[in-house]
Amino acid sequence: MSFKAVAAAALALLLAGAIVLYYYAGQEPGPLVKIEKPAAIGGGPVPLDVTVDSVGTTLRRLEVSVEQQGRVFTLFSLDAPGEARFVQETAHRIRVTQESPAGALTGLRDGSARLVVTASRDVLYGIRRAEAVETRELAVRLTPPKLAIVSMHHYVNLGGAEMVVYRVTPADAASGVQVGNRYYPGYPAAGAAGSLAPGAPPVDPALRVAFFALLHDDDISTRVRLVARDPAGNAASAEFAYRAFPAEFARRRLPVTDAFFKRVVPPILEATPALTLPVGTPEERLEAFLRINGDLRRANQAQIEDLARVTSPEMLWRGTFARMGRAKSEALFADHRTYVFEGRDIDQQVHLGADLASTRGAAITASNTGHVVFAGFLGIYGNCVVLDHGMGVQSLYAHLSSVTVEAGDRINRRETIGRSGDTGLAGGDHLHFTMLVAGRPVNPIEWWDPHWIADRVDRKLVEAGIMSASAATKAPVVTPPAKKKAPARAKAKPAAPKKKAPAKKR
C-alpha cells in the first residue's frame, strides 16, 4: 500500500470518528432548567424565577417567552438581560430572577398560555450546542377579583370581634378582612351551613364568612375593608359600612413578692428549656420574672397565633360560648397591669383574657364544640388547652392543674377538658379564659352574650341564606348603641328585612 493510500485511509477514519463524535455530541442533554415563577400571569408585574444548570460547560443561550395562540411575547433573553438579577448558585448553576412591570406582556389575553424556556450549552469543545426546552402551562388572568358585601349592620367594639358575609369571584381567590396591617381570612360560607334541610339549594360557592377583630391596642379609626387576591396575583379591595366603638379598659396595680417569684418562676423555667436563668437570689428571681413576663409572654403569644393556621374551615360551634359556671370574675379582658415590687414599678403588661375563679380544682369545660389544637405546658399560661371552633375562632383555657384531653380530640360544648389550678404565672387557683380570632385575643364577654351571637353572627347567616331561622340563636335582636358618640363611617341602615339580603356593590 502506498503512503498516499495509507494517508487517505487514516483521514477517512479520522473523518468518520469526527462525524461519530459530532453526532453523539448532538445527542447530549441540554442544560437542566427549573421554572419556579411565574405560576400564573395577572394584570400586575410578572415575576420570573428560573434556575439553569449547564452541566459542567458554558451556558450559551437562555430565552424565556410566553406563547399564546401563535403569538410570542419575550419575557427574558440572555443577550439583553435588562434588569434581571443573576445568582451563581454553583459553578455551573445560575438563578435568574426578574420582575417585569405591569403591561410588559401587552396583547396577552385572558385564558391559557405557555411559558417556554429555551437554553443551550456548549458541547464538544464549543463546536456543538445541546439545547433544552422546558414549558409550563399558565393561566392568564388580567381582571382582578370582585368583592361585594352581603351582610348588613357591622358594629365592632375596641378589643372585640365582628363578622361579615360577602361574595368573592372567582372562587379560588384568597380573601378576607384587612384591619390595618392585620389580615383575617374568610372561609367558604358552606362551612357555616351545617347540614342543610333536604331540598335546600346549595350555598353559593362565592359566599364567604370572615370573623375579624379590632384589637385592644388598635386605633379606633383603623381602616377595615374586604381584600382579595387571586393566584395570578391580582388584588382587589372593597369598603363596607361599619361602626367602631371605643372601650374603657381598667388599670390596676399588682403587687408581686419574692415569695410569689419563688413559687412561679422555677416551674416555668423548668418546663421552658429555651429559657435558662439563675434563680438563686431574690434579684435573680426578679430578673427571671421580668424575662418570663415579657419575652416569654410574647413567645407564647406567637405560638398561640400559629395555632390559628390549623383552624377548621367549618364553623364547628353553634350559639353562645359557655362561661365557667358559678365563677367569680377576678380580672377583665385588656386590664392594664403595673407590677409593683417592694414599692417600685417593675413592669407593665396587658392582661388578654378574663380571670374566673370558683373552687380549687374546679372542672373546666369546653365553652363550645371544637377540636383540641393544643394541650400542654405553655409558658406563662401553665398547663393550657386551646380549642379550635373553626373559621379562625378559638378558645383558650390556662393555669390548669390537670388536662384530660389531647390535641386532635373532638370536644362537645360543656365537656370536661381539665381542672382549674395555678400553673404558669398565676397568683392563685383560677381559670384564665380568652377567645381568639385568627390567633389574636379578643374580649370573651361578647361570645358569652346571646344577644351578641344572635345579632352579630346568626342574623347575618340567616339573612344570607346560610342558616335556617329555626337554627339561629334565640335572643331578641338588640338595637345597637347608636346614641354613643362614635366615628360613624356610614349611617346604620333600617332593620334588615327577613328575606335574603341583596349584595351591595361599593
Q: Which residues bind Zn ion (CB under 5 A)?
A: 353, 355, 432
Question: Between 94 and 425, whose beta carbon lies closer to Zn ion?
Answer: 425
Question: Between 285 and 337, whose beta carbon lies closer to Zn ion?
Answer: 337
Question: Between 252 and 410, whose beta carbon lies closer to Zn ion?
Answer: 252
Q: Quick one: DSSP state of residue 393?
A: E
Question: Between 355 and 463, whose beta carbon lies closer to Zn ion?
Answer: 355
Q: Reduced to 3 states, what is the DSSP secondary structure of residue 470?
A: helix
Give 96's Cβ-side CA count (13 Å radius).
26
Question: Between 355 and 458, whose beta carbon lies closer to Zn ion?
Answer: 355
User: Closest distance between Zn ion and the C-beta of residue 355, in Å?
Assistant: 4
User: Closest distance between Zn ion and the C-beta of residue 310, in Å?
Assistant: 24
- Sign, CA dihedral 271-275-281-283, equals negative
User: Closest distance between Zn ion and the C-beta of residue 330, in Å?
Assistant: 8
Question: Between 141 and 432, whose beta carbon lies closer to Zn ion?
Answer: 432
- Strand arrangement of the beta sheet that strand 93-100 belongs to: 32-37, 46-53, 93-100, 85-88
Q: Cβ contacts of residue 17 below 8 Å, gap of 6+?
A: none
Element (H, E) at 77: strand 71-77
Give me the DSSP letters along 9-74: HHHHHHHHHHHHHHHHHHTS---EEEEEE-SEE-SS-EEEEEEEE-TTS-EEEEEEEEEETTEEEE
CA-CA-CA-CA dihedral for 192, 195, 201, 205, to nearest 10? 30
User: Closest distance between Zn ion and the C-beta of residue 467, in Å?
Assistant: 33
User: Closest distance between Zn ion and the C-beta of residue 356, in Å?
Assistant: 9
The maximal CA–CA distance of the chain, rounded, in angstroms, is 119
User: Closest distance between Zn ion and the C-beta of residue 447, in Å?
Assistant: 16
Residue nearest to Zn ion (CB): 432
Question: Between 320 and 434, whose beta carbon lies closer to Zn ion?
Answer: 434
User: Closest distance between Zn ion and the C-beta of residue 309, in Å?
Assistant: 25
Contacts 24+ apart (CB under 8 A), 488-496: 488/243, 489/241, 489/242, 489/243, 489/244, 490/241, 490/242, 490/243, 491/241, 492/153, 492/241, 492/243, 493/152, 493/153, 493/241, 496/152, 496/153, 496/459, 496/463
Question: Between 341 and 381, whose beta carbon lies closer to Zn ion?
Answer: 381
User: Closest distance between Zn ion and the C-beta of residue 462, in Å?
Assistant: 35
Question: Between 145 and 441, whose beta carbon lies closer to Zn ion?
Answer: 441
User: Closest distance between Zn ion and the C-beta of residue 432, in Å?
Assistant: 3
Question: Between 390 and 439, whose beta carbon lies closer to Zn ion?
Answer: 439
User: Closest distance between Zn ion and the C-beta of residue 307, in Å?
Assistant: 18
> Looking at the DSSP assignment, which residues form a beta bridge with residue 54?
none
Please report the beta strands in 353-409, taking only residues with DSSP state E, as ranges in sequence order: 354-357, 363-365, 370-377, 383-390, 393-400, 402-403
* Grid cell listed for 197: 334541610
Backbone torsion region of residue 400, taken as left when φ is above 0, otherwise alpha when ψ lies between -120 and 50, otherwise beta = beta
